[in-house]
Amino acid sequence: MQYTTLGKTGLRVSVAGLGTGGFSRMGLKSGKSEDESARLVREAVELGVNFIDTAPPYGTEGVVGRALKSIPREAVIIATKSTVHRNGEWWTPERVVKSLDNSLRAMGTDYIDVFNLHAVEAHQYDYVLNTLAPALVKQKEKGKIRHIGLTENPIVDFTNEALKRALHDPVWEVYMVGFHMMHQGARANVFPATREKGIGTLIMFAVRSIFADPPRVAREMKELAAKGLVEKWLGETGDPLGFLVHPGGADNMIEAAYRFARHEPGVDVVLFGTGDATHLRTNVESLLKPPLPEADRKKLAALFGHLKGVGLDGHEGRTR
C-alpha cells in the first residue's frame, strides 16, 4: 500500500480508501450479512487500506463496528457523516450531535477521525458554517471528533460552488470532492486552493457509476456529441475510451479511471466501493499502479476537461 498525509490533519492515510456506501454498500445490497461485509472490511485492512468512509444512511456503520472488534482502533482512520438538510427540514446542532453520538455507538468507538457534514450545497453553506460548525468544534474539544470536514453534492453542484465558498473558512480540514475523467472541474476549482491551504481531499465518483458500465459511456458520448459538447467521433464509436487501453497504458477502463483520479495533483485518498473480495483486490491493485501515460492524461483533458456533471448518480440511480 502507498500512504500520504491527509492535508494538515497529520493523519497518515492509505491512498486507497474503502467507501462503504455507493450502490453495493459492502455487499449488503446484494444479500451479504453484516458479518460477511465486516470480513470484507478486515480483508481491505489486511491489504493495507486504513481509511474507511461510512455514514448512517448507508446502513454500514454496524458493519464497520463489527470489523473494529478485531482491528486495533488506532490502525484505521474512520470517517462518517451527518446530514444537514433533508425533506425540507434543516437539521439542528442538537440533531447533528445526536447523529455523531449514534455513530460512535454503532461503531463501538470513542472518537471519529473525520466527521463530515454531508452533501452541502452552496445555498446551505451559511447555515452549515454559522449554525452547525460551532457545535462540531465543541465536540472536537471534547475529543469525540479529531477533524471536521465537508462533502459537496456533485450530483447537483457541477461547479464545486459549495467548496469554493468553504475555502475561506479554516474550520474545514477535509473535503470530499467529486472528480473523474469526464468531470474534471476540481482541477481548477478546488485542488490549487486545497494544496495551498493544506486541506485534505477524499475523492468520490472516480469510477461510480458511469465507468462501471461501458455501454453507458458510449450512450453518454452519443448524447453529448449530438449536442456538440464532445468531438463527433466520440459519439460514433462503441468504445470511446478505448484509446486508454494499450501496452504501457491501462488494462481496462475502470483501471484507467482509478489511475486518473489517484495521480491528480491535490488528490489524497480515492474512495472505492465493493461487495466482493476479488473486486476489492482488483480496485486496490488499480489504485497502486503508476500514473497513466502523459499523452493519455493530456488527451483526457483536451477531450473532456470542459464537461460538467457527466455520470454523477445518486445511490438510487441517475438524476442528471
pLDDT tens over the chain, length 320 residues: 999 999 999 999 999 999 988 777 877 777 888 888 999 999 999 999 999 999 999 989 999 999 999 999 999 999 999 999 988 899 999 999 999 999 999 999 999 999 999 999 999 999 999 999 999 999 999 999 999 999 999 999 999 999 999 999 999 999 999 999 999 999 999 999 999 999 999 999 999 879 988 899 999 999 999 999 999 999 999 999 999 999 999 999 999 999 999 999 999 999 999 989 999 999 999 999 999 999 999 999 999 999 999 988 754 444 33
Q: Which domain covers residue 26, as residue numbers? A: 12-304
CA dist., res. 112 & res. 210, Å (int): 31
pLDDT digits (tens, 9 = 90+) for 151-206: 999 999 999 999 999 999 999 999 999 999 999 999 999 999 999 999 999 999 99
Structural contact between residues 174 and 155, judged by C-beta atoms closer than 8 angstroms: no
- Write the single-letter amino acid at 35: D
Does 316 reside within a domain?
A: no
Does 5 reside within a domain?
A: no
Question: N- to C-terminal Cα distance for the chain?
Answer: 35
Does residue 5 sit in helix, strand or coil?
Answer: strand
Q: Which of 3, 58, 111, 127 is catalytic?
A: 58
Does 157 reside within a domain?
A: yes
Does 100 reside within a domain?
A: yes
Does 3 reside within a domain?
A: no
CATH of the domain at 190: 3.20.20.100
For residue 70 the three cell numbers come to 478485531
Does 97 reside within a domain?
A: yes
DSSP 317: B
Q: How many domains does the chain have?
A: 1
- 3 is an active site residue: no
Does residue 269 sit in helix, strand or coil?
Answer: strand
Structural contact between residues 261 and 270, judged by C-beta atoms closer than 8 angstroms: yes
Does 175 reside within a domain?
A: yes
